Structure 1
Amino acid sequence: MATFGQIIFYSLVTLIVIFAAIIIMVLVLAFTSKTYTSTGSVMSSNTKPITNISEDVLLSCNLHAVLQDKFSDMSVTWQKDQNRVVYRFQKGAPELSDQASEFKGRARMSPDDIISGNASLLLRSVRSSDAGEYTCSIQSSYGSGKVTVYLRTAAYSTPTFTFSDGSLTAEASRWFPKPTVKWQNETGSFLGGNMTFSTSSSGLFTAVSTLQPVSAEYLYTCTVQNELVAAVSEVMITGSVVNQRNYFSFSVASPLLSSLCLNMMTTLLSIYCVA
């Protein structure tokens, strides 16, 4: 007969499996967000884009209908948070009389693309306040529906490196939200580095981290990241020259969902430990 502790253990394992299945289901639904109708469908190729503040972003929205390649009667409305018009296109022309003031001159759609079923929205010079939920609604005799795109905004840049007297310094300017900086050696072990932060008048962060001592011809990895973006740099010192290779990676899940998953697992594990 199973002991009380074994019963609790197997019950917790079952709960973890169930919660994991729910989380996976939520993620699948989030990243395949579509609305289907009997004659067509409205979909987005990226329902959770991340864009760099002050750059342009294209919010994807497309109508796919059976056996139709032109949509001369298509009407499109983009709204933010379901109550502010970002851009409206109807009767073959833009209709911007009720456009929210913060999007005037910054939102654009291409009439040539629209008649081909492409209702994507170009948003110029993105601001941090642009983050939020956008809904693309399409009406057409060949298909209709809507899709939601959640825009996330961040500030990020590739760090610059300097090498002097056996010290390697990384400076990552123009970051938001506030980042962390981690160093690793060739084997993947984490290394300690001195860290300082400064903030600009616009609220953007600059992180400076110094690693020492540093050996020439060794490969070091510096990762600057927040909950949305990670900038990974592979750095090697040759003589007095700093060679670096950089790439960015982006979060696919919202910070809220990631936090929820982490809190859920932590709670379950803590219950198990107490038991």
Structure 2
Amino acid sequence: MASLGQIIFCSMIILIVLFSALIILILSVSLTGSGFGGSTSSVVSSNKNPIANLGEDQLLSCYVNAGQNSIINQVSVTWEKKGLTGLVYKYADGADDLTDQNPQFKARTQVFPGSLVGGNGSLLLRAVRSSDEGEYTCSISSSEGKGTVNIQLRTAAFSAPTLKFSSGALVAEARSWFPKPNITWSDYDGHVLQGSTNFTQNSAGIFTVVSRLQSVNMSDTYTYRIENNLVTALSRATITGSEVSANTYFIYAANAASSLLSLTYLGIMTSVLCIYYLT
């Protein structure tokens, strides 16, 4: 039978996890919630916390969540950025209206007129800059009503590394990372290995990362992890003769919704383990 101290300890752990999940839920609703007046439709985004790769194009999602195959008329779309004088973009009366556009976004923004009849007011932002980071508001007015949604754009630089076998070492080079990343090498079983890493920063503050793992074995598989607080690149490399066979995939920092799901799962598992432990 569990002691009073054990019961109190498990109860405190469960309450802490659930309270954390509740806080994240409240923040998610307050920061990314959207309003829509006088209609059963709403303005939504498929990704309210996108991470844009510096220098590349980024789509900011915004659309009217109407019925399937609905035809929406008289659509106007306005994009604004918090703290910015002027607009990011505006589409009204069947054409671009860039009279009040901030110079920062000149010739760098567009919507897709052919998609507007379906209520899609998503914005394509070209050649993303670090100064583009911030909170955007998409406002759509149409025959279905009107509403807004907020999108928090984050910026980073990230690229897949190239891996090669050179002078008995496995070498990984990634040419574009920001913020400065951390590097981890590990073997097939997940044991952390000691590598050596050099960082070179250009005038724009972007890092080139060259990391070297010595004394590797032929036909063995190694994992190279390069990550900052926004993006992680995981590469699995197998040495075959003088060649390296590798594949890389990216993991992006979780938004509030996925964090909530993780905490909810953790809360359930913690509860189950505590109940098992107490019995």
How high is the TM-score relative to the length of structure 1? Answer: 0.83
Look up the equivalent residue of 2:197 and give its one-letter code.
M
Residues 232 and 17 of structure 1: is their aligned pair in 2 closer, same or farther, counting only changes over 3 Å? closer
Tell me, yes or no, if the aligned pair for 1:228 and 1:251 is still in contact at 8 Å: yes
SS at match of 2:13: helix
Distance in 2 separating the partners of 1:27 and 1:216? 50
- Give the one of 222, 234, 241 matched to 2:224: 222
What aligned pairs does 1:1-275 form with structure 2 within 5 A after superposition?
Answer: 9=9, 12-13=12-13, 15-26=15-26, 29=29, 33-37=33-37, 38-66=39-67, 69-81=70-82, 83-84=84-85, 85-253=87-255
Give the deviation of 1:98 after TM superposition.
0.6
Tell me, yes or no, if the aligned pair for 1:182 and 1:190 is still in contact at 8 Å: yes
Q: Which deviates more from structure 2 when the two are superposed, residues 233-242 or residues 82-91? A: 82-91
Give the deviation of 1:141 after TM superposition.
2.9
Distance in 1 separating the partners of 2:131 and 2:147? 27
Distance in 1 separating the partners of 2:153 and 2:180? 19
Distance in 2 separating the partners of 1:90 and 1:250? 34
Give the deviation of 1:14 after TM superposition.
5.2
Tell me, yes or no, if the aligned pair for 1:82 and 1:134 is still in contact at 8 Å: no
Identity, % of aligned pairs?
47
CA offset digits 1:14-43 (Å, max 9, x no partner):
541343332452476489844344231110
Q: Which runs of 5+ in 1 are unaligned?
A: 262-275
Distance in 2 separating the partners of 1:10 and 1:246? 40
Tell me, yes or no, if the aligned pair for 2:32 and 2:150 is still in contact at 8 Å: no
Look up the equivalent residue of 1:158 and give its one-letter code.
A
Residues 82 and 88 of structure 1: is their aligned pair in 2 closer, same or farther, counting only changes over 3 Å? farther
Tell me, yes or no, if the aligned pair for 1:72 and 1:92 is still in contact at 8 Å: no
The residue aligned with 1:268 is none
Look up the equivalent residue of 1:91 and give its one-letter code.
D
Residues 241 and 63 of structure 1: is their aligned pair in 2 closer, same or farther, counting only changes over 3 Å? same
Look up the equivalent residue of 1:21 and give its one-letter code.
A
Tell me, yes or no, if the aligned pair for 1:69 and 1:116 is still in contact at 8 Å: yes
Give the deviation of 1:248 after TM superposition.
1.1
Residues 181 and 215 of structure 1: is their aligned pair in 2 closer, same or farther, counting only changes over 3 Å? same
Q: Which deviates more from structure 2 when the two are superposed, residues 214-223 or residues 170-179? A: 170-179
SS at match of 1:174: strand
RMSD, aligned CA: 2.7
The residue aligned with 1:266 is none
